Amino acid sequence: MLGDPRWISGAERLFALAAARGLPRVLDAETSPDGVLARLVPLADHVVFSERGLAEFAGTPDAEAGLVRVAPRLAATVAVTIGERGSLWWRDGRVLRVSAPRIAARDTTGCGDVFHGAYALALAESMPVLGAARFATASA
């Protein structure tokens, strides 16, 4: 299940249904109105923030510091996408980087959505978290 903060009640309902069936619940934790991420983050078992979403949620613009601040408090796999630099993942009490390939980007519209969709697909196909992260990075 993949949800985001644009349809709060829908994400809440679908996360509850997915949890009842033991399905992975991925939250595209992008920037949102006050309090929305606080409602949705606890419902997901994979929280992948945008840089701005994490900055708002953690209260710091530094992606790595924000991840270190919030990830230990969450019962989830937690990450943040950092654009052309790839993504940062909280695994086993430390931050790991998944680098993005060097490309000549022409238009980055939708890259975050592609990342989250590819990550959710990889999890649905039983790929391990860091493998799913690499697949999502290459897809985006």
What pLDDT, in 10s, does the model give residues 48-59? 999 999 999 999
Dihedral angle over CA of 116, 121, 125, 126, nearest 10: 10
Q: How far apart are CA 72 and CA 68, in angstroms?
A: 7
pLDDT higher than threshold 90 for residue 61: yes
Domain segments of the chain as ranges: 2-109
CATH code matching the domain that covers 2-109, chosen among 3.60.110.10, 3.40.50.1820, 3.40.1190.20, 3.50.50.60: 3.40.1190.20
Q: Taking the CA atoms of the chain, what radius of gyration do you get in angstroms?
A: 14
Q: Tell me which residue of 101, 68, 56, 65 sits closest to 83, measured CA to CA.
A: 101
pLDDT category at 44 given cuts 50, 70, 90 is very high
Q: How far apart are CA 140 and CA 31, in angstroms?
A: 19
DSSP 8-state symbol, 82: -
